[in-house]
Each structure stands twice: as C-alpha cells, then as structure tokens.
C-alpha cells in the first residue's frame, strides 16, 4: 500500500511536468496568435457536466479492488480571462473487491466534493485541451467492516489532470480526462490512502449562443446618425486627407471590439474604399467619433447641381476574436464643383486654376499684345496686374452682384451654400460677383507667374498681388505706405476688382487699400491669405478643359485701352512723390523722383529731376549715373557711354575706382558697348568690373565672350532692363 506522502507528492509533480511538456509540444503546432483568436471567438461559457472515471491504485492493498467514480461539475469562467475557469465538482466513489457485489468487508463508498481551477485553450473550432487542479474533502462509508454498524471517516483529496476535449458544437463537449488522485483519511481507516491514476470521460453542456450560428451574426456597431453633411466636388483633393463628414460609432455589445478599421465607399464616384481611421479598441457600450475621408475620382466634376447619394461606411473589427465586416449605409448630397461654403475663406483657393489652358491662352494674348508697352524698369507684378485689369475691362468684363449674397451671410456668422464660378466660366460669361472676379483675376496672374492672394472683409472678397519688393523699399511701389500691404516682409498691392470696366486700375488699387485700412482698429474682421498657402489645403479643382472659342478682340484696341491706364497709374504713384520732393528739396529725393519717372517711361520728367539734383550737388554721382541710364534706355548708347566714362573718372579722382558704384557703372558700360557691337570694349569693361567683386557680376559673365561667334551681339532690347539706377552715392 502506498502511504509515503513524499513519494506521492513527487509522483504528482512528475505527472504534472509530463503533462505540461506534452501540452507545450502541442502549443508549438499552432501559433499563439491563432489560439488567442480562437479563445476569444469561442470564449468558454458557463457549463455543467457529468463524468465517469475509472481509478487504479499504484500498488499495495487497494490493488485488488476496483475504483469507479461518478461525478458532476459546474464550471464558471473568469470574466476577464475566460481561459481560466474555477469549478465545483461532487460525486461518489465506489470501492469493490474484485468479484464482489458489495458484500466484502472492505467494500465501501466515498462521497466527495472539491473546488478547483482549470485552464483550457482552443486549437480549432472543435478541439481544445486543458489542465485542471482541485482539492476537496470526502466522507467514507464502510457498511461491512463492523456488523450492524456503518463505519466511516472524513478525509481530504487532491486531484490534477489533463482535459482533451472534442467540441462537436459550441454547446456540447466530450472530454477525455487522464488524471492523478491522491487521498488521505483523517482517521484510522488509512488502508486506501495513496496515489491513483484515473482515466475518465465527461460530457458537458455549455450555455450561450454559437458565434458561428446565423442567429449570432454580429452587428455590434451602430451609427448615431445616417445623414451626413453635404460634400462639395471642389473639395475633392481636400477630402482625400481631411474628413468631409464625421460620424459617431457606438458599440452596442457588452464585449470590447478590437482592431477596428473604418473605411468609406461611394459607388460610382470612388474607385475603392478610402481608409479613414484605425482604432485599437472600442470599449463595451463605448462610442467614438470618426472623420470620414473620401478619395473621390473625377466623376464628381461631371455632376450638375445637387445629387443625392447613398454611400457605405465599412468597418472591419474583431469581436471575441472573430473577424467581422459590417457595412452601414449613409445618405448625403454631393454639390457640383461651383458650390462652396464660406466657413473657411481659404476654400476659394480651390477655384483658382492657373493651369487652365484657356486662361494661359488669354494671358499669352495679353502679354503679346502689350509687349511693346511693357516698361523694363517698372515692377513686373504691378505692371502685369494693370495690364490684365485693362485687358478685362477692354474685353467687356463687368461686376454683377449675387442677389442671394451667401458670402455676406457667411461673414456675418450664417453658413450658406454659395456658387463660385471657375475662371474660365466667368471669362466666357463676362460677368461675376466679387468672388468670381477675384478667382478669375488671380488665376490669370498666377498663370503668368505672379503670386497672388485674396483679402476678406465683412461681406466682401478681393485680390492682392505680390510685388516681391521688400517692405523697407515700399516707396518703389508707392510713396504712401498705406497704399500697400506688407506680408512676410514683402509689399502687396490690394485691388478692388469689382471696379473693372468702370474705373481705372489706379482707382481699384486705391479702393482696395482703403478697404484694408478701414479695419485697422479691428484687424480681426479682415483676413489675408496667399493663394499658395490656401492651395496647400485646398488644391485646385479638376478641369475638363475645352476651347472656350472666345474672340479676344484686336490688339490695337487693347493697346489703346492700356496706355491711358498706365498714364493714370503713373499719376497715382508719382504725383504725391513729386509733391513730397518739392517740399523737401533734398538731392536724394530728387534723384529718387527721377528714378520713379524713369520706371514709368517718363523720360523728360526723369531727366529734369536728375538735372535738378545735380544743380543742388554737381558731384552727386547717382544722378550722373542715372542720366547715362536714361540715354541707354533711349538707345542713345554713345551719350550713355560718355556720361558713364565721366562718372568713372570722377570716382577714380575721389579714390573710389574700386567701389561697388564703380563696378555697377562698368557693367553698364559693357552693356552699352555690347549694344554697339564694340565687343572688345564690352569685354574690357566687364573684366574691370569682375576684378572688383566677381560674385556680384556673375549674371553678366556672357559679356566676357560676346562677339566670339556666340550670337550675343546687339542684345540691347533684350537687356535694357539690366542697367541699374543708382539711388545714393
């Protein structure tokens, strides 16, 4: 008989170790990730069962007896870790001597109960394995040991073993249970104390619904609303990286959802679902707000008006380890590419389309028609703005107010849907409201390579043009700082484009500045956005480019319309400067006035201003240089050379022969000699200039090789803008 408790404990340890090794080998067959998914999907539920076990003593007196056990079991999984299940077992053990019907002296029964903890894991839908360990008490009853009296004692038992389970359906399981049982009496009847090996079979019923059953189709998520805000075709590029609508997803289950992938799909207007968000988990009864992204294709630009659509929100997630795909319909309206809401003024950037071939054709026509009217020294952006304004006026473009005024409503706090025409549509129609004309003007100037922006004020939007002039040099554009706007240390010209066809460009400029300055005390009421910055968020809409078939008119008519515009622009910029100069009488102011006159092509006025400066100071080098520049611009190259040679002599006399001013004059001399095809003198003058500071004359390096078969001679017309006027010396 086995009664040595140390040996018994060692045997239990060995059996447990062997069982763990066997299970470890089986674990390696299936990945841990797969088991985790199966355990979650087929999570162990509350179960009840009954079992039979046949025991065999390891040796001693009990070996001549049979041991048969019948038991029942209640197993309750832990909520947080369902692979662990505390359980209660109870049963009877019948001990009979071989061949006995229960009448032998040591035949007896044991009634027992135990508490334990089990672990089980799934390897497939229909197969699982586990380990159990339990401890309990028993009461023995020996009816034949003492005649007329039933004798019994209390004892304790320890039980451990493995479970190899076949699960033909979610609710039914059949287990094969190899096990070890150790029991010990607390009294004198210890003949049956010791270690037993058992092999049993159990049948259990598991409560709950099969997750694979049709009735268990998972619809864990619901939407709080199924009607989305409208989508705007013009925002196509915006929606691919920023949400066009937001929805709230609600987990209606008492189980956490994991690995949520949310996408949006619109049949007919998208090539594939657009991934919108990923959530690691969503708590039971939890909620999450999700922004929907939408990579619409070009079909959105083919819609007209408002189109009602029904899209799908597609959510893939894991529910109790089971992969689920749930599709939820949503309805919304798609507005065509002219629609906009003014909740963000930068949205107008999406309508500015400088790549439109129709606009490029028109801007090319304007540039070609006014090429001979373009002044080389005048600021290019300001000049282009005046030319386009004049061309649009000559073309017959006029402002027409929008009777519904959605922009006004938006600026006062009410969001309304407005319609902004694309530049090509406004050009073809010949009329537009403030946003239409701003978009058209900006699109044309951008197509010509000039940076634009737009200004918003209560109820209004209008244009701004970047002159690229530094803020400290604002007088190069206008003597009154209030006539310009400084942004990023650069001078911008505001243009009230709604005056097109009615008043001159100079008036539109003045009015634009007045509107800007009107809110100096309340700057939060006005806004300034560059087209470039707006289009980093709202890229231009897609176009179906077609020839507009427009007749731009005769070039002579455009020239005739632009010349008075340029004259009025000169008056606007020069009148005040001339008045300021007359009051100051300073030689530098007279020189600056002469330069300003020269930029506007007013040669006589410029010459008079430079001469006036020299009367005040005959040695004033800047005025001497600039008189030579005037001669050069009039293609009187000999007169220009004579003037500049005199300046060089004076500078050398003053010890300034190596100054930067001398270098500039030498470059001018080289340009003049080149224009006269005197290439030897052109090279010599340039080489002298390069000796002073090579880096500053790198752009004129070609002057060192002209006349050597390079075809660079006679480029005066092309290079006339290269002569540099000198302000102060």
Report the CATH number at residue 638: 1.25.40.10
Instruction: Tell me if 624 is assigned to some domain.
Output: yes
Shared domain for 326 and 383, answered yes or no, is no
Residue range 426-448: mean pLDDT, rounded = 94
Shared domain for 74 and 160, answered yes or no, is yes
Please work out, in degrees rounded to the nearest 5, the angle formed at the alpha carbon of residue 299 by the alpha carbons of 295 and 301: 95
What is the band of 21 on the pLDDT scale with cuts at 50, 70, 90? low
Shared domain for 199 and 246, answered yes or no, is no
Sheet with 490-495: strands ordered across: 485-487, 490-495, 460-470, 452-457, 527-530
Least confident interval from 250-264, 574-588, 698-712? 698-712
Instruction: Tell me if 568 is assigned to some domain.
Output: no
Instruction: Tell me if 564 is assigned to some domain.
Output: no
- Measure the CA dihedral 687/688/689/692, to 10°: 120
Distance CA 134, CA 116 (A): 4
Instruction: Tell me if 659 is assigned to some domain.
Output: yes
Total domains in the fold of the chain: 4
Instruction: Tell me if 675 is assigned to some domain.
Output: yes
Residue range 213-242: mean pLDDT, rounded = 82
* Domain end point (choices 481, 516, 537): 537
Residue range 592-615: mean pLDDT, rounded = 92
Q: What is the pLDDT of residue 249?
A: 94
In DSSP terms, 307 is beta-bridged to: 334
* Domain end point (choices 480, 502, 537): 537
pLDDT in tens, 49-88: 999 999 998 876 677 889 999 999 999 999 888 899 999 9
Shared domain for 316 and 460, answered yes or no, is no
pLDDT in tens, 517-528: 999 999 999 999
Shared domain for 356 and 305, answered yes or no, is no
- Asked if pLDDT for residue 630 goes beyond 80, the answer is yes
What is the band of 403 on the pLDDT scale with cuts at 50, 70, 90? low
Q: What is the pLDDT of residue 255?
A: 86
Quick one: what percent of the chain has pLDDT higher than 70? Answer: 89
Question: What is the gyration radius of the CA atoms in the chain, in angstroms?
Answer: 47
**Contact yes or no for 93/68 (Cβ under 8 A):** yes
Instruction: Tell me if 385 is assigned to some domain.
Output: yes
State the residue range of the domain holding 284. 218-335
Shared domain for 430 and 524, answered yes or no, is yes
Q: What is the pLDDT of residue 4?
A: 44
- Asked if pLDDT for residue 2 goes beyond 90, the answer is no
Residue range 78-102: mean pLDDT, rounded = 91
Q: What is the pLDDT of residue 208?
A: 84
What is the band of 303 on the pLDDT scale with cuts at 50, 70, 90? confident
Shared domain for 234 and 191, answered yes or no, is no
Residue range 576-582: mean pLDDT, rounded = 92
Q: What is the pLDDT of residue 712?
A: 44
Shared domain for 37 and 185, answered yes or no, is yes
Distance CA 226, CA 247 (A): 8
* Domain end point (choices 305, 335, 365): 335
- Asked if pLDDT for residue 726 goes beyond 90, the answer is no
Instruction: Tell me if 601 is assigned to some domain.
Output: yes
Shared domain for 68 and 123, answered yes or no, is yes
What is the band of 455 on the pLDDT scale with cuts at 50, 70, 90? very high
End-to-end CA distance of the chain: 123
- Asked if pLDDT for residue 380 goes beyond 90, the answer is yes
Question: What 3-state DSSP class applies to 177?
Answer: strand
What is the band of 342 on the pLDDT scale with cuts at 50, 70, 90? confident
What is the band of 98 on the pLDDT scale with cuts at 50, 70, 90? confident
Q: What is the DSSP string of 607-648?
A: HHHHHHHHHH-TT-HHHHHHHHHHHHHTT-HHHHHHHHHHHH
Shared domain for 328 and 394, answered yes or no, is no
pLDDT in tens, 111-161: 999 999 999 999 888 999 999 999 999 999 999 888 889 899 999 999 999
Residue range 306-325: mean pLDDT, rounded = 89
pLDDT in tens, 641-692: 999 999 899 888 888 888 888 888 999 999 999 889 898 898 999 899 899 9
Q: What is the pLDDT of residue 5?
A: 43
**Contact yes or no for 135/102 (Cβ under 8 A):** no
Report the CATH number at residue 362: 3.10.620
pLDDT in tens, 179-214: 999 999 999 888 899 999 999 999 999 998 787 765
Q: What is the pLDDT of residue 6?
A: 44
pLDDT in tens, 246-283: 999 999 888 899 999 999 999 999 999 999 999 999 99
Report the CATH number at residue 199: 2.40.160.20
Distance CA 511, CA 495 (A): 7
- Asked if pLDDT for residue 409 goes beyond 60, the answer is no
- Which residues have CB under 8 Å from 141's CB, separation 6+? 108, 109, 110, 111, 150, 151, 152
What is the band of 729 on the pLDDT scale with cuts at 50, 70, 90? low
Q: What is the pLDDT of residue 9?
A: 45
Shared domain for 510 and 591, answered yes or no, is no
**What does the mean pLDDT of the chain come to?**
87
- Asked if pLDDT for residue 412 goes beyond 60, the answer is no
Instruction: Tell me if 727 is assigned to some domain.
Output: no
Question: What 3-state DSSP class applies to 482?
Answer: helix
Report the CATH number at residue 249: 2.60.40.2550
Shared domain for 154 and 263, answered yes or no, is no
Q: What is the pLDDT of residue 641?
A: 92
CA 537 from centre of chain:
9
- Asked if pLDDT for residue 1 goes beyond 50, the answer is no
């Amino acid at each position: 008989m086995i009664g040595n408790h140390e040996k018994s404990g060692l045997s239990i340890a060995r059996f447990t170790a062997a069982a763990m090794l066997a299970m470890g080998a089986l674990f390696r067959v299936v990945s841990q990730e797969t088991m985790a998914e199966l355990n979650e999907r087929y999570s162990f539920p509350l179960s009840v069962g009954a079992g039979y076990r046949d025991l065999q003593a390891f040796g001693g007196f009990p070996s001549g007896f049979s041991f048969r056990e019948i038991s029942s079991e209640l197993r309750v999984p832990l909520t947080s870790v369902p692979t662990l299940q505390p359980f209660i077992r109870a049963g009877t053990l019948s001990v009979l001597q071989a061949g006995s019907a229960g009448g032998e002296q040591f035949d007896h029964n044991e009634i027992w109960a135990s508490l334990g903890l089990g672990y089980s894991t799934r390897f497939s839908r229909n197969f699982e394995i586990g380990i159990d360990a339990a401890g309990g008490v028993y009461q023995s009853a020996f009816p034949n040991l003492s005649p007329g009296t039933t004798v019994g004692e209390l004892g304790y038992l320890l039980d451990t073993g493995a479970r190899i389970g076949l699960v033909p359906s979610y609710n039914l399981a059949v287990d094969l249970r190899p096990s070890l049982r150790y029991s010990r009496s607390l009294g004198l009847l210890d003949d049956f104390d010791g270690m037993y090996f058992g092999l049993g079979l159990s049948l259990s019923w598991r409560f709950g619904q099969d997750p694979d059953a049709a009735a268990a189709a998972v619809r864990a998520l619901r939407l709080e609303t199924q009607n989305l805000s409208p989508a705007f075709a013009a925002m196509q590029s915006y929606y691919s990286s920023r949400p066009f609508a937001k929805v709230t997803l609600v987990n209606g289950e008492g189980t956490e959802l994991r690995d949520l992938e949310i996408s949006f799909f619109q049949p007919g207007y998208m090539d594939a679902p657009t991934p919108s968000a990923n959530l690691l988990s969503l708590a039971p009864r939890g909620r999450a707000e999700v922004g929907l992204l939408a990579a619409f294709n070009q079909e959105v630009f083919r819609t007209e008006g408002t189109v009602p659509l029904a899209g799908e929100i597609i959510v893939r997630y894991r529910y109790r380890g089971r992969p689920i795909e749930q599709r939820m319909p949503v309805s919304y309206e798609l507005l065509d590419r002219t629609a906009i809401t003014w909740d963000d003024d930068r949205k107008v950037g999406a309508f500015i389309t400088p790549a439109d071939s129709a606009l490029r054709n028109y801007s090319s026509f304007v540039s070609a028609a006014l090429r001979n009217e373009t002044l080389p020294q005048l600021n290019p952006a300001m000049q282009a703005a005046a030319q386009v304004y004049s061309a649009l006026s000559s073309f017959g473009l006029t402002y027409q107010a929008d009777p519904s005024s959605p922009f006004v409503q938006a600026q006062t706090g009410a969001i309304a849907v407005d319609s902004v025409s694309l530049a090509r549509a406004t050009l073809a129609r010949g009329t537009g409201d403030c946003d239409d004309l701003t978009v058209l003007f900006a699109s044309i100037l951008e197509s010509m390579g000039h940076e634009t922006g737009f200004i918003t004020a209560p109820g209004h939007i209008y244009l701004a043009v970047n002159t690229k002039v530094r803020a400290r040099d604002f007088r190069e554009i206008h003597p009154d700082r209030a006539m310009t706007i400084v942004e990023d240390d650069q001078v911008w010209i505001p243009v009230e484009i709604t005056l097109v066809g009615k008043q001159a460009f100079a008036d539109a400029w003045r009015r634009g500045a007045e509107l800007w300055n009107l809110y100096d005390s309340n700057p939060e009421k006005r806004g300034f956005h560059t087209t470039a910055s707006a289009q980093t968020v709202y890229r231009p809409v897609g176009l179906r480019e077609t020839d507009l078939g427009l007749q731009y008119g005769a070039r002579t008519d455009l020239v005739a319309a632009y010349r008075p515009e340029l004259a009025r622009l000169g008056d606007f910029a020069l009148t005040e400067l001339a008045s300021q100069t007359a009051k100051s009488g300073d030689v530098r102011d007279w020189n600056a006035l002469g330069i300003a006159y020269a930029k506007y092509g007013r040669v006589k006025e410029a010459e008079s201003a430079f001469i006036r400066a020299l009367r005040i100071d005959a040695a004033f080098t800047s005025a001497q240089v600039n008189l030579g520049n005037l001669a050069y611009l009039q293609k009187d190259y000999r007169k220009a050379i004579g003037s500049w040679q005199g300046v060089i002599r004076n500078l050398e006399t003053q010890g300034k022969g190596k100054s930067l001013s001398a270098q500039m004059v030498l470059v001018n001399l080289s340009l003049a000699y080149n224009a006269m095809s005197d290439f030897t003198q052109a090279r010599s003058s340039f080489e002298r200039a390069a000796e002073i500071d090579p880096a500053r004359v790198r752009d004129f390096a070609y002057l060192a090789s002209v006349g050597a078969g390079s075809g660079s001679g006679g480029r005066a017309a092309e290079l006339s803008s290269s002569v540099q006027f000198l302000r102060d010396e």
